[in-house]
């Protein structure tokens, strides 16, 4: 280790050089030559040099520690800022954040109407583009869109299935279709409500399969349906197409919602990382402060010890002088 007490310290060199038996600094170190006979004055000079060195070391240690703690503090503040930013990012990607589906549409029409009413047609496209961008980046918009599209898809597909069955099976088909739809709906309800506990999934699936089988059987029995039922069949087909389209839209919205969820989770990970970093830096800063205190205390005691030794040396010299005078 390189000592903080450098031999080039002018004050130390001056003090040591004045000692009777001290070697020049840089040849044998800070202390006097141990083989030489030391007078009381030389001892005091040596201890004075030692005291000065200890004092300088104490000061340097404190300055170094303070610099270290300040650096840790700056990093700690940076980590806290990162954590705050990550938490805000997480919040911005939560499903409830932003303008919802109807809110976005309403805002778009509101802006368009305002631009048209004010005659600001030049800003019309800019507003449309901005509103579209906001909707694209709004988790609530996509969440609403997915939920709405799924609801539309379920209703449209159910109506399409009923219409198709009625159209092909006539009046009797209504009963068959009704039973099929009731079974399917019951299966869905059982699956979603879990009213049969652990067996709900199995029961629900069985009911849905039963409904599908019944609908298929009804369809087979509907051969030879009348001309009037073709209209109902067309309506049913239209509903089925609409339901499929809604389901596809819901799928796209689901992917977009997954993207938001990924960003929210990534932001949560960033926040946790910053939080851990800040906590660790704080711990280390506390340790450094603790050890600085201990170090300073120890060095202070060393200085006190040296002072005591110098006093004892002086007292011994005084005693020796008084004895020689009396003698």
Partner 1 sequence: MTTSRIGICQGQSPVASASTATATADAALIDPASDVSTSLPAPCAGLALSGDPGAELAVLAVRSGEVERNDARVERDADLAIEISEGNLEVADMRQKADDIGTAALDDGLGMMAKGAGDIGAGLSSRQAGALDQGAGTAAQGGLSILSGGYKAAEATDDANATQCKTAADTAQHAADDMHDASKNASDYITAALDFFREYVSTQSLSRNAALHRA
Q: Which is nearer to partner 1, 129 or 279 (CB)?
A: 279
Q: Which is nearer to partner 1, 134 or 280 (CB)?
A: 280
The answer to whether residue 157 forms part of the interface with partner 1 (CB under 8 A) is yes
d(CA 312, CA 292): 30
Of 5, 38, 155, 158, the one binding partner 1 (CB under 8 A) is 5
Retrieve residue 21's tokens. Answer: 């038996």
Q: Are 208 and 147 in contact (CB under 8 A)?
A: no
| Distant-in-sequence, close-in-space partners of 266: CB < 8 Å, separation ≥ 6 | none
Retrieve residue 257's tokens. Answer: 């919602």
Residue 215: other Cβ atoms inside 10 A: 23
Contacts with partner 1 in 182-241 (CB under 8 A)?
219, 237-241
Q: Which of these segments, 97-105, 174-182, 190-198, 296-304, binds partner 1 (CB under 8 A)?
A: 296-304
d(CA 180, CA 278): 61
Q: What angle do CA 84, 86, 88 make, to 5 degrees?
A: 70
The answer to whether residue 316 forms part of the interface with partner 1 (CB under 8 A) is yes
Q: Which of these segments, 37-45, 116-124, 178-186, 278-286, binds partner 1 (CB under 8 A)?
A: 278-286
| Distant-in-sequence, close-in-space partners of 9: CB < 8 Å, separation ≥ 6 | 53, 56
The answer to whether residue 75 forms part of the interface with partner 1 (CB under 8 A) is yes
The answer to whether residue 160 forms part of the interface with partner 1 (CB under 8 A) is yes
Q: Are 88 and 104 in contact (CB under 8 A)?
A: no
The answer to whether residue 246 forms part of the interface with partner 1 (CB under 8 A) is yes
The answer to whether residue 255 forms part of the interface with partner 1 (CB under 8 A) is yes
Of 162, 183, 243, 310, the one binding partner 1 (CB under 8 A) is 243
Nearest to 216 by CA among 180, 244, 185: 180
Of 37, 258, 310, 325, the one binding partner 1 (CB under 8 A) is 258
Closest approach, Cβ 318 to partner 1, in A, equals: 9
């Amino acid at each position: 280790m390189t000592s903080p007490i450098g031999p080039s310290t002018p004050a130390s060199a001056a003090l040591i050089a004045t000692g009777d038996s001290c070697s020049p600094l840089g040849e044998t170190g800070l202390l006097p030559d141990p083989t030489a006979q030391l007078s009381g004055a030389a001892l005091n000079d040596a201890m004075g040099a030692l005291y000065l060195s200890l004092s300088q070391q104490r000061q340097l240690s404190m300055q170094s520690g303070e610099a270290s703690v300040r650096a840790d503090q700056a990093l700690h503040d940076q980590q806290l800022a990162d954590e705050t930013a990550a938490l805000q990012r997480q919040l911005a990607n939560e499903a409830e954040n932003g303008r919802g589906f109807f809110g976005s549409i309403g805002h778009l029409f509101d802006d368009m109407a305002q631009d048209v009413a004010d005659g600001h047609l030049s800003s019309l496209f800019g507003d449309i583009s901005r509103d579209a961008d906001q909707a694209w980046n709004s988790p609530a918009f996509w969440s609403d869109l997915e939920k709405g599209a799924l609801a539309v898809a379920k209703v449209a597909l159910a109506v399409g299935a009923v219409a198709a069955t009625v159209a092909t099976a006539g009046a009797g088909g209504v009963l068959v279709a009704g039973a099929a739809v009731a079974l399917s709906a019951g299966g869905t309800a059982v699956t979603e409500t879990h009213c049969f506990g652990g067996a709900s999934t199995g029961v629900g699936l069985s009911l849905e399969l039963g409904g599908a089988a019944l609908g298929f059987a009804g369809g087979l029995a509907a051969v030879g349906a009348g001309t009037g039922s073709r209209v109902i069949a067309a309506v049913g087909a239209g509903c089925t197409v609409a339901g499929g389209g809604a389901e596809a839209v819901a799928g796209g919205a689901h992917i977009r919602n997954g993207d938001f969820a990924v960003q929210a989770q990534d932001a949560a990970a960033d926040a946790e990382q910053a939080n851990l970093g800040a906590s660790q830096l704080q711990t280390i800063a506390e340790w450094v402060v603790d050890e600085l205190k201990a170090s300073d205390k120890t060095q202070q005691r060393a200085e006190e010890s040296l002072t005591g030794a110098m006093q004892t040396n002086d007292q011994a010299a005084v005693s020796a002088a008084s004895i020689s005078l009396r003698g």
